[in-house]
């Protein structure tokens, strides 16, 4: 399917003068994988992504009715930018997610996409506040959500209660702790090494 025909085929959910959101499609798996691989720097997530079945399961989760995920397109040239979504609809604290291709970052696309996504979601749903989970070294997304007014709200692990794997990840990647990570750890009130096996959680309250 050509880029020109994509937006004629998929119904537009929301748009502004720069971007368009469409409901994510099963045919977009390769685009999703490209965005995922383009952005993963978090060591714990890299370990999980070595399993192709795990990557496929992540994408299939995006297609489930309990979630609400959108592809992000540039309006002027219909180029794919990334995706954003709400992980589980109808809950009191829905979780926002967004990933952009690196080439599309730093241009205000992420902020526009989240604003559109929240507007669409809030029209149909009542909730307490949005959750936003971000990798500890994904400073682009941290800045994006903080710019939207999100505040630190703890950390969460990718590995459940498996303390052995958490310690393995922390011990193996101690060399990755730098001044930026130390400042982030201080902001979230945790020891820096915990950010090697956990991801950050923000709270975003809407008016």
This prediction has a pTM of: 0.82
Query: E strand or H helix at 105, and its extent?
Result: none
For residue 85, pLDDT over 90 is answered with yes
- Please tell me the distance from the alpha carbon of residue 94 to that of residue 86, in angstroms, as a whole number: 6
What's the length of the chain?
207
Give per-residue pLDDT as tens, 46-82: 556 667 787 788 888 888 888 899 999 999 989 999 9
Q: What is the CATH number of domain 3-128?
A: 3.40.630.30
Give per-residue pLDDT as tens, 9-48: 457 889 999 999 999 888 888 888 888 877 766 545 555 6
CA distances from 119 to 92, 116, 131, 176 (A): 16, 5, 15, 37
Residue 10 has what pLDDT? 56
- Sequence-ordered list of residues with C-beta below 8 angstroms from that of 17, at least 6 positions apart, any chain: 75
What are the extents of the domains in the chain? 3-128
Please give the DSSP secondary-structure letter assigned to residue 148. T
Give per-residue pLDDT as tens, 116-134: 999 999 998 899 999 999 9
Coil, strand or helix at 77? coil
């Amino acid at each position: 399917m050509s880029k020109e025909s994509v937006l004629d085929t998929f119904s537009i959910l929301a748009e502004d003068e720069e971007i368009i959101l469409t409901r994510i499609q099963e045919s977009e798996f390769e685009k999703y994988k490209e965005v995922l691989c383009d952005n993963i720097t978090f060591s714990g997530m890299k370990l999980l992504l070595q399993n192709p079945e795990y990557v496929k399961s992540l994408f299939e989760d995006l297609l489930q009715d309990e979630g609400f995920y959108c592809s992000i397109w540039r309006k002027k040239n219909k180029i794919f930018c990334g995706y954003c979504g709400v992980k589980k609809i109808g809950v009191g604290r829905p979780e926002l997610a967004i990933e952009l291709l690196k080439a599309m970052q730093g241009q205000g696309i992420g902020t526009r996409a989240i604003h559109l996504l929240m507007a669409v979601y809030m029209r149909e749903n009542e909730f307490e506040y949005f959750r936003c989970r971000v990798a500890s070294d994904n400073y682009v997304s941290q800045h994006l959500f903080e710019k939207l007014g999100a505040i630190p709200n703890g950390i969460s692990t990718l590995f459940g209660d498996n303390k052995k794997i958490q310690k393995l990840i922390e011990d193996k990647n101690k060399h990755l702790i730098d001044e930026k990570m130390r400042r982030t750890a201080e902001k979230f009130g945790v020891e820096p090494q915990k950010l090697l096996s956990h991801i950050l959680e923000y709270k975003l309250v809407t008016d």
